[in-house]
């Protein structure tokens, strides 16, 4: 499957039962809601997916289930976040064998690699697979930045094709465009900067709150791509308090609370994470309840396909 690297791509959560098993019926329900809303890809195994707590067999089950539900309508992308190059290579080859359409890839985990080491890590994985790769560039949370000079080297490999841009620097979009044109596709990775990034030329949005609000998220993207910016802005201003739940250490708990509130998930997380409680839970619940009371009526965006 050819990957266009554009549009809204949910970084989906993993659903668990209260006895800590995969809740596949609830997981399927959410994926189906994403498809109905018109998302352009599904990303598994990111931070929101609690991937660091998942066993290899569970990751395989989630990939198999997603591929079955999606049925080749949109690409299914799986995240690679490993501590060693050998583990990353094994994970990439396993994902390709099991039918993933593309990879999202973080720099090495736990070890703060140098620029040379980071480039070598990405190169090793890219050379072991034919799958297209989106580099996840998030120096704020992961302390390693993939610079433009590093991309200059990495883009010599044809299957390194996109970046999940999470530097929090909007002007970086223009720097990437000026240097690489359309060779490196850009997907915003920060919910609170999504509209601004799209207006500055980002090709897509790797989204978090989309897990609970898929139609609103896709509507913003589609309206912007049709230059219906005032309509998009009206939705985005309503959405912003919810989007801010994504830039928080407890983003998984926050977004799962939102999913539960709209019937697309549950608050169940896998330890060491625990559901929110006390004043923080009350604060997050107030944000969600306030947004639901003022939830906007959306224009008919579904006929608009970029």
- Three-state SS string across 129-165, please? CCCCEEEEECHHHHCCCCCHHHHHHHCCCCCEEEEEE
Residue by residue, pLDDT tens for the chain (306 residues) are: 889 999 999 999 999 999 999 999 999 999 999 999 999 999 999 999 999 999 999 999 999 999 999 999 999 999 999 999 999 999 999 999 999 999 999 999 989 999 999 999 999 999 999 999 999 999 998 999 999 999 999 999 999 999 999 999 999 999 999 999 999 999 999 999 999 999 999 999 999 999 999 999 999 999 999 999 999 999 999 999 999 999 999 999 999 999 999 999 999 999 999 999 999 999 999 999 999 999 999 998 875 454
Fold held by 7-293 = TIM Barrel (3.20.20)
What pLDDT is stored for residue 101 in this prediction? 98
Q: How far apart are CA 280 and CA 95, in angstroms?
A: 37
- How is the chain split into domains, by residue range? 7-293
Q: What is the pLDDT of residue 300?
A: 87
pLDDT at residue number 76:
98
Q: What is the pLDDT of residue 303?
A: 57
């Amino acid at each position: 499957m050819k990957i266009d690297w554009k549009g809204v791509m949910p970084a989906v959560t993993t659903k668990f039962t209260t006895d800590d098993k995969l809740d596949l019926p609830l997981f399927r329900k959410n994926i189906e809601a994403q498809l109905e809303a018109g998302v352009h890809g599904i990303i598994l195994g990111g931070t929101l997916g609690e991937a660091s707590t998942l066993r290899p067999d569970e990751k395989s089950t989630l990939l198999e289930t997603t591929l079955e539900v999606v049925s080749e309508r949109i690409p299914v992308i799986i995240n690679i976040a490993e501590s060693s190059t050998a583990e990353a290579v094994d994970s990439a080859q396993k994902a390709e064998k099991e039918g993933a359409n593309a990879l999202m890839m973080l720099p090495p985990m736990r070890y703060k690699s140098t620029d040379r080491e980071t480039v070598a890590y990405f190169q090793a994985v890219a050379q072991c697979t034919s799958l297209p790769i989106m580099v996840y560039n998030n120096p704020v949370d992961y302390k390693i930045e993939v610079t433009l000079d590093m991309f200059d080297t990495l883009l010599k490999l044809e299957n390194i094709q996109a970046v999940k841009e999470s530097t929090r620097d909007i002007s970086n979009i223009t720097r990437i465009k000026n240097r690489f044109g359309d060779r490196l596709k850009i997907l915003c990775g920060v919910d609170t900067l999504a509209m601004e990034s799209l207006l500055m030329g980002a090709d897509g949005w790797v989204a978090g709150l989309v897990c609970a609000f898929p139609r609103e998220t896709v509507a913003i993207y589609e309206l912007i791509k049709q230059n219906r910016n005032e309509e998009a802005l009206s939705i985005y201003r309503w959405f912003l308090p919810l989007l801010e739940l994504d830039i928080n250490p407890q983003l998984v708990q926050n977004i799962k609370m939102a999913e539960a509130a709209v019937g697309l998930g549950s608050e169940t997380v896998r330890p060491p994470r625990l559901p929110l409680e006390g004043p923080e839970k009350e604060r997050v619940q107030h944000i969600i309840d306030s947004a639901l009371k003022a939830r906007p009526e959306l224009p008919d965006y579904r006929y608009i396909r970029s």
